[in-house]
């Protein structure tokens, strides 16, 4: 449960500006929600511990690939596909609002089979998606090589997902932040939220504000969009979101460059419009350690080399790491806390926060401005972890 504010703390910021909604976290999730809310006339503030957009959202690969990664159709898959469908308009709207091009590219995604074990997994994916009428194509090796001549000769066959696209995550981050600010959102950088503040009225808890390193702010709604750090603020509610490190590598693009996002079961290579390739990633449970390690980089290069022989000879441009906010069941946590009115979760997006950014912003904004969202948030409610509260 969030804690109650002391009278002294509340007095401290009595004369501070009033907001309808306070958002904790200035990543793509916090900024895009803030943008949509401000467009609906809400007065919104974002509190960011460091500088906005320097954590997971800055580290991401930018793939919008629900089909390439899905093994079944469920509510989570449906949410991902809905969000993907919003992207072309989202990119255009951000360009109009900010002038920033998020490099939305539509060449599609290839998933290579390079071994017998790969055959099995790709066959399964092909079967259920084809039977479900999804846009997935099966290509023989010759066909793939016509599309991407530099791919490994060991290629057996591949799946093509024409609608699984990509964006430049750093440009997206900058664009959502700029769009939010242009719409009137106030961003408090270097301002860490230390505690969520709640009060009890007629036996019901409700949020009343936040205590930050710069003082207390009051508002009837707080959106928790603090990525991997969300559980630290919602400690008593046992929100199971933990950091999962992913490392990345960027190299100078070869000639001819690849055009598609290319996956194997072990890694991926993504071409960027600005003329380089990025490759990823690792999946490591090492807490909040965001160091790049020699072993991590070596493993990424080995897997990229398996996709594109010669990758390891290209000039190394940059390496980096970030922590994905992974929930216990790898699905996002969205919607109001049933036990604390006004406390809204928008976290736990794990590997799909870039993909899910437009739909998350839309649904949370609908929830707060219309009282309900156009897609049910029930499957993503924090309630699914209720047993943890009981035993915790």
Ligand X SMILES: Cc1cc2nc3c(=O)[nH]c(=O)nc-3n(C[C@H](O)[C@H](O)[C@H](O)COP(=O)(O)OP(=O)(O)OC[C@H]3O[C@@H](n4cnc5c(N)ncnc54)[C@H](O)[C@@H]3O)c2cc1C
Residue number with CB closer to ligand X (2 or 157): 2
Contact residue for ligand X among 22, 187, 354, 364 (CB under 6 A) = 354
Query: How many residues comprise the chain?
Result: 392
Return the structure tokens found at 227.
Answer: 């990525």
Residue number with CB closer to ligand X (211 or 336): 211
Q: How far is the CB of 154 from ligand X (least distance, A)?
A: 25
Contact residue for ligand X among 229, 263, 311, 345 (CB under 6 A) = 229
Q: Which stretch binds ligand X (CB under 6 A): 49-57, 114-122, 179-187, 294-302?
A: 49-57
Contact residue for ligand X among 193, 222, 301, 308 (CB under 6 A) = 193
Q: How far is the CB of 201 from ligand X (least distance, A)?
A: 26
Q: Which stretch binds ligand X (CB under 6 A): 33-41, 55-63, 67-75, 149-157?
A: 55-63
Residue 111 near ligand X by CB under 6 A: no
The closest alpha carbon to 187, from 40, 3, 14, 54, belongs to 54
Residue number with CB closer to ligand X (157 or 177): 177
* Torsional sign, CA 266, 79, 348, 164: positive
Tell me: cis bond preceding 256? Omega within 30 of 0 counts. yes
Residue 312 near ligand X by CB under 6 A: no
CA distance 68 to 83: 15
Contact residue for ligand X among 21, 34, 56, 277 (CB under 6 A) = 56
Residue number with CB closer to ligand X (280 or 335): 280
Residue 60 near ligand X by CB under 6 A: yes
Q: Which residues contact 269 (CB under 8 A, 6 or more apart)?
A: 258, 261, 262, 277, 278, 279, 304, 307, 308, 311
Residue 28 near ligand X by CB under 6 A: yes
Return the structure tokens found at 287.
Answer: 């807490």
CB atoms within 10 A of CB 142: 9
Residue 260 near ligand X by CB under 6 A: no
Three-state secondary-structure class, residue 213: coil
Q: How far is the CB of 247 from ligand X (least distance, A)?
A: 7
Q: How far is the CB of 53 from ligand X (least distance, A)?
A: 7
CA distance 238 to 391: 10
Residue 45 near ligand X by CB under 6 A: no
Q: Which residues contact 188 (CB under 8 A, 6 or more apart)?
A: 45, 46, 47, 48, 212, 214
Residue 25 near ligand X by CB under 6 A: yes
The closest alpha carbon to 95, from 3, 1, 174, belongs to 174
Question: What φ, ψ does residue 49 adopt, rounded to 5°?
Answer: -55, -45
Contact residue for ligand X among 57, 174, 198, 327 (CB under 6 A) = 57
**Which chain residues interact with ligand X by CB under 6 A?**
24-30, 47-50, 55-57, 59-63, 192-193, 225-229, 233, 246, 248, 280-281, 322, 324-325, 347, 349-355
């Amino acid at each position: 449960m969030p804690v109650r504010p002391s009278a002294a703390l509340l007095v401290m910021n009595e004369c501070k500006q009033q907001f309808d909604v306070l958002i904790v976290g200035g990543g793509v999730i916090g900024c895009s929600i803030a943008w949509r809310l401000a467009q609906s006339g809400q007065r919104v503030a974002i509190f960011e511990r460091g500088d906005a957009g320097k954590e997971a959202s800055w580290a991401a690969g930018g793939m919008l690939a629900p089909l390439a990664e899905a093994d079944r159709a469920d509510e989570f898959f449906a949410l991902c596909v809905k969000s993907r469908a919003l992207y072309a308009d989202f990119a255009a709207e951000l360009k109009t609002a900010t002038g920033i091009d998020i490099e939305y590219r539509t060449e599609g995604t290839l998933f290579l089979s390079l071994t017998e074990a790969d055959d099995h997994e790709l066959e399964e994916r092909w079967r259920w998606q084809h039977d479900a009428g999804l846009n997935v194509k099966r290509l023989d090796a010759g066909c793939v090589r016509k599309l991407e001549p530099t791919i490994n000769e060991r290629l057996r066959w591949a799946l093509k997902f024409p609608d699984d696209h990509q964006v430049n995550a750093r440009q997206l981050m900058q664009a959502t932040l700029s769009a939010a600010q242009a719409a009137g959102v106030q961003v408090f950088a270097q301002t860490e939220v230390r505690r969520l503040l709640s009060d009890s009225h007629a036996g019901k808890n409700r949020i009343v504000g936040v205590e930050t390193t710069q003082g207390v702010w009051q508002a009837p709604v707080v959106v928790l969009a603090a990525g991997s750090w969300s559980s630290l603020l919602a400690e008593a509610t046992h929100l199971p979101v933990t950091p999962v490190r992913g490392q990345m590598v960027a190299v100078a693009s070869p000639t001819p460059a690849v055009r598609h996002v290319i996956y194997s079961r072990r890694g991926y290579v993504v071409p960027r419009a600005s003329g380089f390739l990025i490759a990823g990633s690792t999946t490591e449970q090492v807490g909040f350690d965001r160091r790049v390690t020699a072993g991590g980089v070596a493993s990424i290069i080995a897997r990229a080399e398996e996709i594109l022989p010669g990758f390891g000879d290209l000039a190394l441009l940059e390496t980096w790491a970030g922590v994905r906010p992974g929930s216990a069941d790898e699905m996002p946590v969205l919607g109001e806390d049933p036990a604390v009115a006004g406390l809204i979760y928008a976290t736990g997006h794990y590997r799909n926060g870039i993909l899910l950014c437009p739909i998350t912003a839309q649904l949370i904004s609908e929830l707060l401005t219309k009282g309900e969202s156009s897609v049910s948030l029930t499957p993503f409610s924090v309630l699914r972890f209720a047993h943890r509260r009981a035993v915790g």
